[in-house]
């Protein structure tokens, strides 16, 4: 069935950020937010449980940061699709995340078009 929605896990310590991402992504019609985590530790647990098609990953979080979380998730599933969410000025972290295996990034403050472009790029590739 090709009209199956892509399942997304949002990992970000800010509820506000998770809500914005959710609202924008829900508008696409082809994704479903299956889980939300407030830190890397929760993110890893939910990843194991939910096996989402894609994860959005904040880099700066309490308990376990994004870089460590990316490493651990990719150990569990080397094909995991992780998109980093970062603020301006975090270029070094974004590069580090890319080296560790993140596939793309979304910049804060969010621009709807950018988020939709990244979703298309990452998820449509997976569909083909």
Q: DSSP 3-state assignment of 98?
A: helix
pLDDT tens over the chain, length 128 residues = 456 899 999 999 999 999 999 999 999 999 999 999 999 999 999 999 999 999 999 999 999 999 999 999 999 999 999 999 998 888 999 999 999 999 999 999 999 999 999 999 999 865 54
User: Could you give the CA distance from residue 78 to residue 72 in angstroms, rounded to a whole number?
Assistant: 10
pLDDT value at residue 3:
65
Token representation of residue 68: 């460590």
Sheet holding 104-108, edge to edge: 31-37, 6-11, 54-58, 82-87, 104-108
Domains and CATH numbers, the chain: 6-127 (3.40.50.2300)
pLDDT value at residue 50:
98
pLDDT value at residue 17:
95
């Amino acid at each position: 069935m090709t009209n199956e929605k892509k399942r997304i896990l949002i990992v970000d310590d800010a509820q506000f950020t998770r809500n914005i991402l959710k609202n924008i992504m829900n508008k696409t019609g082809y994704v479903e937010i299956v889980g939300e985590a407030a830190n890397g530790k929760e993110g890893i647990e939910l990843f194991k449980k939910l096996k989402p098609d894609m994860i959005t990953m904040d880099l700066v979080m309490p308990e376990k940061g994004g870089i460590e979380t990316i490493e651990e998730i990719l150990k569990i599933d080397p094909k995991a699709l992780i998109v980093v969410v970062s603020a301006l000025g975090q270029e070094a972290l974004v590069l580090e995340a890319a080296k560790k295996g993140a596939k793309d990034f979304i910049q804060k403050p969010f621009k709807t078009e950018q988020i939709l472009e990244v979703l298309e790029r990452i998820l449509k590739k997976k569909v083909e």
